[in-house]
Structure 1
Amino acid sequence: MSITNDTFKRALARLAAGVSVVSTALDGDRRGVTATAVCSVSAEPPTILACVNTATGTFKMIEQTRRFAVNLLAEHHRPVAEAFAGRGGQQGDERFQHGDWLEGEHLAVPILATALSALECEVTQVVIAGTHGVVFGAVRNIYFADKPPLIYHDGQFHVLPGSKALQRTLETQG
């Protein structure tokens, strides 16, 4: 059986995942994309990976600078996620109008100030797999905030059931 792109995407859309923005910068120019394909690789040394489409300016800049950040989004970051997914038509540095961004202390990459956590990384390896680059990063600095996570499932953004934000909403309505 031949598997089409649409069938493949439909199957993987059922995998609930945290939402992040992978970001980078070079000489004052910033790039970023929404990503769900991000995960821990190793605790010793601290290493993560992010899958980024090779056709994006973000991937090209990561290859050039050898540094990036992964910003894990909270439930109130839905507009940020949508902007960095390209849903508003904004590109490049324009997307950073959404959210409160600062320059990372260690690698000078864009950090979302209110992210659940943000990890500044130096690229250790890039593996090309089809349309995407699997970017491995050694974690050099971490930032934290205490907020409920934003989840992506079946093509839509959701609040994690049982999160404090959802409980507050239900209490207010009920």
Structure 2
Amino acid sequence: MGAPVDVQQFRAAMARFPGAVTIITARDGDERRGITATAVCSVSADPPSLLVCVNRGTGTCAAIDTSGRFAVNLLADPLAPLALRFAGIGGTTGEDKFAAGDWTADDTGLPLLSGALAAISCDVAEAMTAGSHRIFIGHIRQIRQAEGAPLVYERARFHRLTAL
């Protein structure tokens, strides 16, 4: 095995991977929880499922572990300020994050963003720990979709997609 990879070099390389910006939401009793994330991908069409990676130190991770449910809200490009809010920029935490945005709920109470390009409700099918994060694989219960261009994040900046 070679020398360990430098953490800063790792982060710089990972920052080159453009990612769709999402807000992952959950409920812990009456309190809504949410974080901004780009670590989301499809897993399977049969059954329809996706995975999310969530930092173990967040209230959102604890809420997903407790409830066994989460939602993924794909942000449209005008929603960069909401992405920053849910990333904790400005110090907003917990339920206070939901003071911005037009939020509804699915049939289980999961927070769904009305302006999301896709709002996907999931039941946790599998969960595992990998370093500082939990990986949750969710079977999809419900999908809402809208039109628009997705917000993308790369090298610590938001971007818009343009067709070639």
SS of equivalent residue, structure 2 residue 10 = helix
Q: Partner amino acid for 2:5? A: I
2:12 paired residue among 10, 13, 16: 10
Q: Tell me the residue number matched to 2:128.
A: 127
Whether contact under 8 Å (1:31, 1:61) holds in the other structure is yes
Q: CA deviation at 1:27?
A: 2.7
Q: Partner amino acid for 1:146? A: E
Gaps of 5+ in 2: none
Q: CA deviation at 1:30?
A: 0.6
Alpha-carbon separation, structure 2, partners of 1:41 and 1:114:
24
Q: Tell me the residue number matched to 1:82.
A: 84
Q: CA deviation at 1:2?
A: 2.5
Runs of 4+ that moved beyond 3 A: none
Post-superposition CA distance 1:136-156 (Å, at most 9, x none): 101000001101100000111
SS of equivalent residue, structure 1 residue 9 = helix
After superposition, residues 25-174 of structure 1 pair within 5 angstroms as: 25-104=27-106, 106-162=107-163
- TM (norm. structure 1) is 0.90
Alpha-carbon separation, structure 2, partners of 1:95 and 1:66:
21
- TM (norm. structure 2) is 0.95
Alpha-carbon separation, structure 1, partners of 2:43 and 2:151:
21
Q: CA deviation at 1:56?
A: 0.4
Alpha-carbon separation, structure 2, partners of 1:162 and 1:97:
34
Percent identity between the two aligned chains:
42
SS of equivalent residue, structure 2 residue 122 = strand
Alpha-carbon separation, structure 2, partners of 1:134 and 1:162:
32
SS of equivalent residue, structure 1 residue 64 = helix
Whether contact under 8 Å (1:103, 1:110) holds in the other structure is yes
Alpha-carbon separation, structure 2, partners of 1:10 and 1:37:
16
Alpha-carbon separation, structure 2, partners of 1:54 and 1:79:
24
Alpha-carbon separation, structure 1, partners of 2:148 and 2:90:
25
Q: CA deviation at 1:7?
A: 1.3
SS of equivalent residue, structure 1 residue 60 = helix
Aligned residues: 162
Post-superposition CA distance 1:106-142 (Å, at most 9, x none): 3210000010001000001101000000001010000
Whether contact under 8 Å (1:24, 1:61) holds in the other structure is yes
